[in-house]
A and B are shown apart, each in its own frame.
Chain A
């Protein structure tokens, strides 16, 4: 056997390098004194360094990694989207609600919070774009980078799939559903809770003057009396957000696992959302009047559920710049339409998730080529 004498493993190479950096003082000091030596000996791990094989840790690791990827890079998608939405909220709903009369405050709190979740019109329609931007690369980029075989040597397919799904849920949530909640909290904070330095002394003064009969007693516009209403609205927002995100996340995940190009998955997602609405709702349902067709459109089914859950047909709602939100003439869907829509959405979620898992399994069966 010919052994190459140049590959002398007994005399390891020590690489010398100078640290590069933008801040000059530290670097200059190092350069003046000595070069940093990179010690390139191989170091074995100690047995205690490795923990036991843990599915939970794998899930957490991949999910956190994918989320952090959304926040980093030259074009960090998540912060950009958050900034965009924040600007949007500041311009539209928040200012309006803060100056709203007390009497219509509660109903409008629900109206405006739900406003960010409208699947067909208003700011809520932007959620499909947001989901497409942040989630389209979740599996597609692994297929493109060919990193799936490396992942599969470390985790099993099921864990990989679940962690990607978890990441898609979190990333989808960072958008309008998140802002719906933030909006809700900000408004309650601003309107619902007293400022201890201004409001409470004023209230005590009013109460005292009222007792003395010197002034008409004023109702408290904030406090525990409204807590039940707040919780009800909050529960509605959370419940609908979860449904919306589950539907969109599972569909985008399926599309992401079907292509090696994230941009294709993103565009396909938006096309599917729009086209399915046009085909099933506007063409098939409108022309045949067979209700069955409209449930195939996720947007239509989501809208039916949305209308059933939220108080959206308020006259006061549109007076603050409705931006295409459902008008006061829109009636709530019947129970059968509501339940059929809910069932269709659940089937869409299950179908998309199964499709994603099947795509990954098929890829594995073909030897990851």
Chain B
């Protein structure tokens, strides 16, 4: 779907160079891909380059295996939902979507029909005739999603689609994204800060940090390689425990409710014998030890740490 090779982007502001993307080479396959990274990691810049909104400083990329990337060759096949609620104020949802449909090459009549179809799909029903200014954040996000679907694209890029939504709104947006990908075969790349969203709907991950590619691959692969979070229960606790672990470069965190329950953060692969060795010749007794099932947040932070 998308391939980039040593893609770099440098912005110059007041004679100061800001590296937004630093030699990023990646491949986005069909299906749903999450684009992750902290603020300023280069996610939006990558999206803008792919959409042809800003040219890369160096490197190349190809969409749909077409290295020419001419505007007309990609606009028909790509849908874009921007991060901010970018809607034309003073018009209603139908007019807005129809306008975008006509700019996508639909006739006036077909664009009107299409506007109703996609608004039905995203669940904007009778409210579609109200002016956009009166919509809630959730409705604005759904209208933007409808706008991204108006030209029936093969590849949809969503920039922070669930930001600012209520739990129900988020759930409904994730349902739509998952459905459009799984049931209707659209490829989706979406950037987000909300990690549980990724867990719910994405198979592939791309993680950027400081403009560099940190990780690219399957979610399951990332989880398999995860090392480092363990739970330990001792018979009692004092400062000596902290010292024993820090001698082995293991960071500990005490449970708030159970004072003798500890969480170990480490990049080492620990086994039961490693832990028992630590407490040999001390008065501490190991009551329980288990490796924690990592959640997505753990994996994400772990990958960022590894790369740093």
Where the two chains meet, the residues of A that have a C-beta atom closer than 8 Å to any C-beta of B are 1-4, 6-7, 9-10, 12-13, 15, 17-20, 38-45, 49-54, 57-58, 61-62, 65, 69, 72-73, 141-142, 144-147, 149-156, 364-368
Contact = CB atoms under 8 A, between A and B. Distances in A.
Interface string B75-99: 1101010101111111100000001
Contact of A69 (B20, B91, B202): B91
A53 B72 contact: yes
Contacts of A366: 11, 13
11 contacts: A3-B201, A4-B200, A6-B171, A9-B182, A42-B183, A51-B105, A53-B105, A152-B51, A152-B53, A154-B104, A364-B53
Contact of A52 (B90, B105, B117, B174): B105
Contact of A145 (B88, B107, B151, B184): B88
A73 B90 contact: yes
B149 interface: yes
B152 interface: yes
A49 B180 contact: no
Contacts of A15: 123, 125
Interface in B104-153: 104-107, 110, 114, 117, 120-123, 125-126, 131, 147, 149, 151-152
B200 A368 contact: no
Interface of B: 11, 13, 20, 44-45, 48, 51-54, 71-72, 75-76, 78, 80, 82, 84-91, 99-100, 102-107, 110, 114, 117, 120-123, 125-126, 131, 147, 149, 151-152, 171, 174-175, 178-180, 182-184, 199-203, 219-220, 223, 296
A193 B104 CA distance: 49
A149 B86 contact: yes
A41 B199 CA distance: 25
B99 A368 contact: no
A364 B250 CA distance: 48
Given A7-B179, A15-B125, A155-B103, 5 more contacts: A50-B104, A144-B89, A149-B86, A150-B82, A367-B44
B192 to A, nearest CB: 15
A341 to B, nearest CB: 38
A154 B183 contact: no
Contact of B120 (A19, A40, A52, A145): A40
Contacts of A42: 121, 149, 179-180, 183-184
